[in-house]
Amino acid sequence: MYIETVPNRNSPPAVLLREGYREGGKIVKRTLANLSHWDAQLVEHFRLLLKGGVAVESLDAVMTIERSLPHGHVAAVLGAARACGAEKWFASAPEQLRSVLLAMLCARVLGPASKLATHRMLHDDTATSSLGRVLGVGQCQADDLYRALDWLHEAQPTLERALARKHLVGSTLVLYDLTSTWLTGHCCELAARGHSRDGKRDDPQIVFGLVCTSEGCPIAVEVFKGNTADPATVASQVAKLKERFGIQRLAWVGDRGMLTSARIEQVLKPQDMDWVSSLRAPQIALLAAEQGPFQPSLFDQRNLIELTSEHFPGERLIVCRNPALAEERARKRGELLAATEADLGKIAAATQRARNPLRGEQAIALRVGRVIERFHMAKHLELTITDTALRWTRKTDAIAAEAALDGLYVIRTSLAATQLDGPAAVAAYKSLAHVERAFRCMKTIDLHVRPVFHYNTERVRAHVLLCMLAYYVEWHMRECLKPMLFDDEFIEQAQAARASPVNKALRSEHAKAKDATKRGDDGSPLHSFRTLLQDLATVAYNITSTSLNPNAKIVITTRPTPVQAKAFKLLGVNPVCSQ
């Protein structure tokens, strides 16, 4: 017997209890009862009985859901961390700390917070995700996290050596840049006042340098005192890669404030290392005076020219001109000059007003100084200040000399053209944007390295290392999940199609289509990395028990949606098996 629902034109469908049997070699069915007047839930219970199931008065009588925890994002990050080799990173740690270290790494990606808040997230009684239960650290103590952090600091050389051997074998280029972040309190020995890249000039800070592969994958990080100048950090990083990691020949890519001429002469050349950097504005002016004015017509074909100079022996210089940048700088200089002159005009008017005029050379100069300091245009103005008046004229020759260099920048490299041609050298220098992206991700968007809640020097260093390892996992996740994110999947082809690497970076046509439609190739909605994790988190980790045996806990994971299933497939993760 079975229940069949029969459509009934414009009336509700008929629900019939039927019996099927064979008669004369044919299948015959007959109606035993009309169940159309039954309650729909009662019909479904009856249908379950006919299929051999057991109907009960209430589902609670069979199974009770005791707790439901967000799980899908945990499965995704944990699976990606294991695929990156995180379990091998921590294999030498004490056995009771291995799972804690893995949990801290995943928690930094899932929900960055202080170590105490992370402990609350992991503990069984206060868990806000399934991470603690999946890794079996739901009963760990807060001190375990700090002991794990201490081990991480001691293991940093070993961990970075493993990453360097994995990613720098056969490589030529490494990217290096520096950033800072602020601390609260004054107990950390690393905290010092220096140039704040976060605009937090009132707080002490630390500085940390990040070494990445040419694709932007992080491999090493070093923390310095907050008043350490950028060039002063280069020597320790070069020594780390050469002595600690055993890498003898590399080309360092760094900006002009990092790889200065002095640092090249004192650090890179003695260590037999190559470099890709750029010249400062005074050096570009010197080069222009030596080689003659760089006329725009010289850049008509490729937007770059290659030359050598006696001032930079053994180096190739690639002079690049970006017309869009030249127009922008000319516009900005004109606006700043106009704004400066408008403010100076107000001061000049104050010296000539009939009532209470501004008098005194020193008083006028103080007000002029504030205006000049605001827009930094003193180099382009000739000022005449007396006790009763203010006059100024533009330095047309200085303005013209600066305008001649608008849009120009010069890449310097010690690599031969056979190793790295001109366009490739420009592209290599521009790849420092990968490190900037890493800093944005670590500091503001995803991993929140700040604020730093530690005062102990070793734990501050370990905290920054943990954030770097978390970014390593996230970097690989982003690479796998590109079809579901707004990231450009074909950026290499788009850059290769540019007429010149000097031109502005372009998104591929495929990426532009994603931006316009907000949909992937299969029509599914696109996400940012963070919103995709939020979507995956709706896959629940349900802890259940039955009335027959309340002490036996059964874990049931909800079925992923098509979007979630696609993400798990791209990551190679089974949300059920990850338990």
CA atoms of 579 and 568, how far apart (whole Å): 14
- Determine if the peptide bond prior to 218 is cis (ω within 30°): no
Residue-wise pLDDT for 504-562, tens only, equals 778 888 899 999 999 999 999 999 999 999 999 999 999 988 776 677 788 889 999 99
Q: Which domain holds residue 379?
A: 324-403
Q: Among residues 403, 418, 439, which one ends one of the domains?
A: 403
Tell me, what's the pLDDT at 548?
Answer: 65
Tokens of 174: 């490494």
Residue-wise pLDDT for 183-199, tens only, equals 877 788 898 888 888 77
Residues in the chain, how many? 579
Q: Is residue 268 part of a domain?
A: no
- pLDDT class of 380 with cuts at 50, 70, 90: very high
Q: Is the pLDDT of residue 293 over 80?
A: no
CA atoms of 564 and 136, how far apart (whole Å): 25
Average pLDDT over residues 421-444: 91
Residue-wise pLDDT for 395-405, tens only, equals 999 999 889 88
Q: Is residue 526 part of a domain?
A: no
CA atoms of 190 and 7, how far apart (whole Å): 77
**Residue 424: partners with Cβ closer than 8 Å, 6 or more residues away:** 501
Q: Among residues 29, 55, 81, which one ends one of the domains?
A: 55
Tell me, what's the pLDDT at 6?
Answer: 87
Average pLDDT over residues 411-440: 92
Percent over 70 (pLDDT), the chain = 96
Looking at every residue in the chain, the average pLDDT score rounds to 89
Q: Is residue 577 part of a domain?
A: no
Tell me, what's the pLDDT at 289?
Answer: 85
* pTM for the full predicted model: 0.84
Residue-wise pLDDT for 349-366, tens only, equals 999 998 999 999 999 999
CA atoms of 525 and 531, how far apart (whole Å): 11
What stretch of H or E contains 244?
A: none
Average pLDDT over residues 242-261: 87
In terms of pLDDT, which residue wins out, 453 or 143? 143
Q: Is the pLDDT of residue 578 over 60?
A: no
Average pLDDT over residues 414-442: 92
Q: Is residue 339 part of a domain?
A: yes
Q: Is residue 361 part of a domain?
A: yes
Residue-wise pLDDT for 142-181, tens only, equals 999 999 999 999 999 999 999 998 998 776 799 999 999 9
Tell me, what's the pLDDT at 56?
Answer: 60
Average pLDDT over residues 279-308: 81
Q: What is the number of domains present in the chain? A: 2
- Tell me the HSE value of 393 on the side-chain side, using a 13 A CA sphere: 4
Q: Is the pLDDT of residue 61 over 60?
A: no
Tell me, what's the pLDDT at 296?
Answer: 66
Closest by CA to 275, choosing from 286, 266, 287, is 266
Tell me, what's the pLDDT at 89?
Answer: 96
Q: Among residues 403, 419, 435, which one ends one of the domains?
A: 403
Phi-psi region of 6 (alpha: psi -120 to 50; beta: other; left: phi over 0): beta
H-type helices in 199-322, by residue range?
Answer: 234-239, 261-263, 281-291
Closest by CA to 110, choosing from 578, 540, 529, is 529
Tell me, what's the pLDDT at 230?
Answer: 87
CA atoms of 468 and 42, how far apart (whole Å): 58
Q: Phi, psi at residue 207, to the nearest 5°?
A: -120, 140
Residue-wise pLDDT for 466-479, tens only, equals 999 999 999 999 99
Tell me, what's the pLDDT at 185?
Answer: 72
Q: Is residue 429 part of a domain?
A: no
Tokens of 416: 């031969």
Average pLDDT over residues 60-74: 84
Average pLDDT over residues 81-102: 96
Please state the separation of Cα 152 from the chain's center in Å.
Answer: 22
Tell me, what's the pLDDT at 62?
Answer: 65
- pLDDT class of 21 with cuts at 50, 70, 90: confident
Q: Is residue 352 part of a domain?
A: yes
Q: Is the pLDDT of residue 59 over 70?
A: no
Tokens 């700043």, located at residue: 336
Tell me, what's the pLDDT at 188?
Answer: 86
Q: Is residue 228 part of a domain?
A: no
CA atoms of 381 and 368, how far apart (whole Å): 12
- pLDDT class of 12 with cuts at 50, 70, 90: confident
Tell me, what's the pLDDT at 10?
Answer: 79
- pLDDT class of 38 with cuts at 50, 70, 90: confident
Q: Which of 302-306, 320-324, 496-500 has the highest mean pLDDT?
A: 320-324
